[in-house]
């Protein structure tokens, strides 16, 4: 039994404590600390360079601005629309004084530029532009006039013909500026090519079509136009002589409508209509 105890003798803690025991050294984690940045005069160099660059850019901008102003006074840039296509002069733009007119024949009021001319009879009321340059269906610039017509319900121009017209542009929805209680707030403008016109993209007339709108290529029946009261349309006339004392029917290019100086006066006049 003593031998067995000696074979499996367990050393107690006290016995181990009598040995030469050494504590393991503590691990030093100080290398994980990021040293503070070293202050140096070179840290200010990027800031100084940035300030100098800002000053140089500012001086350059002032010089370029003054230079461009001088060039603008010396030779004004031509409008983009006029460079692409000389559709007209500015005489038809709604600039200058405006005139307000009331028609007893058609129970309506309208505001138009004072350089346009108005004529009013029981059969028709017309508002005619001064002489302006227009691109015709053959893509040539001609002198002519724009005429906004007001006719009794159902009175289509003879040029419309007996066949439906074709929409050469999508109808455009506009809002009246100050509609009366008896008037719809909005209307469509529709762009018609008559069946007698053979050149694709020709624009013969513009019509106020009320609630009727058409996509490009769709037919515009006569009955739709005739149902609107009063019948408001836009036509174009070409000067037949130098003084433009004589006029003839003019078919224009549908691309004319993309020129704001051409379209805006027409839209402004139609939007001013007040029907009672």
Each residue's pLDDT tens digit, 73-82: 333 333 333 2
**59 is a domain residue:** no
**Is residue 75 domain-resident?**
no
149 inside domain: yes
| Mean local confidence (pLDDT), 268-273 | 97
Label residue 242 by pLDDT band (50, 70, 90). confident
Give 142-197 pLDDT, tens digit per residue: 999 999 999 999 999 999 989 999 999 999 999 999 999 999 999 999 999 999 99
49 in a structural domain: no
Report the alpha-carbon distance of residue 124 to residue 79 in Å, rounded. 36
Q: Using CA atoms of 237, 268, 81, 131 in order, give the dihedral in degrees to the nearest 10.
A: 30
Mean of the per-residue pLDDT values for the chain? 78
Residue 143 lies in a domain: yes
Residue 23 within a domain: no
14-57 per-position pLDDT tens digit: 444 444 445 444 444 333 343 444 444 455 566 566 677 676 66
What residues make up the domain containing 227?
81-275
What's the pLDDT at 71? 38
Length of the chain: 276
Is 139 a member of any domain?
yes
Residue recorded with tokens 């500015």: 90
Residue 58 belongs to some domain of the structure: no
Distance between CA atoms of residues 98 and 89, nearest Å: 19
Domain count, the chain: 1
- pLDDT at residue 62, as a whole number: 54
């Amino acid at each position: 039994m003593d031998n067995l105890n000696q074979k499996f003798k367990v050393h107690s803690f006290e016995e181990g404590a009598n040995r030469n025991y050494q504590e393991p050294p503590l691990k030093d984690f100080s290398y994980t600390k990021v040293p503070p940045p070293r202050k140096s005069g070179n840290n200010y160099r990027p800031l100084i360079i940035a300030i100098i660059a800002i000053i140089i850019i500012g001086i350059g901008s002032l010089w370029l601005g003054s230079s461009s102003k001088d060039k603008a006074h010396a030779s004004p840039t031509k409008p983009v629309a006029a460079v692409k296509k000389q559709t007209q002069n500015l005489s038809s733009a709604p600039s200058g004084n405006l005139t307000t007119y009331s028609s007893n024949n058609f129970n309506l009021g309208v505001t138009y530029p004072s350089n346009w001319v108005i004529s009013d009879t029981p059969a028709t009321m017309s508002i005619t532009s001064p002489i302006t340059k227009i691109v015709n269906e053959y893509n040539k610039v001609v002198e002519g006039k724009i005429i906004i017509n007001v006719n009794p319900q159902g009175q289509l121009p003879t040029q419309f013909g007996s066949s439906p017209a074709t929409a050469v542009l999508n109808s455009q929805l506009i809002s009246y500026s100050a509609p009366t209680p008896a008037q719809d707030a909005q209307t469509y403008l529709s762009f018609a090519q008559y069946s007698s016109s053979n050149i694709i993209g020709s624009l013969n007339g513009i019509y106020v079509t009320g609630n009727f709108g058409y996509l490009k290529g769709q037919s515009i029946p006569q009955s739709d136009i005739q149902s609107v009261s009063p019948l408001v349309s836009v036509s174009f006339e070409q000067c037949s002589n130098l003084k433009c004392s004589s006029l003839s029917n003019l078919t224009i290019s549908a691309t004319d409508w993309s020129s704001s100086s051409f379209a805006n006066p027409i839209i402004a006049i139609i939007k001013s209509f007040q029907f009672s």
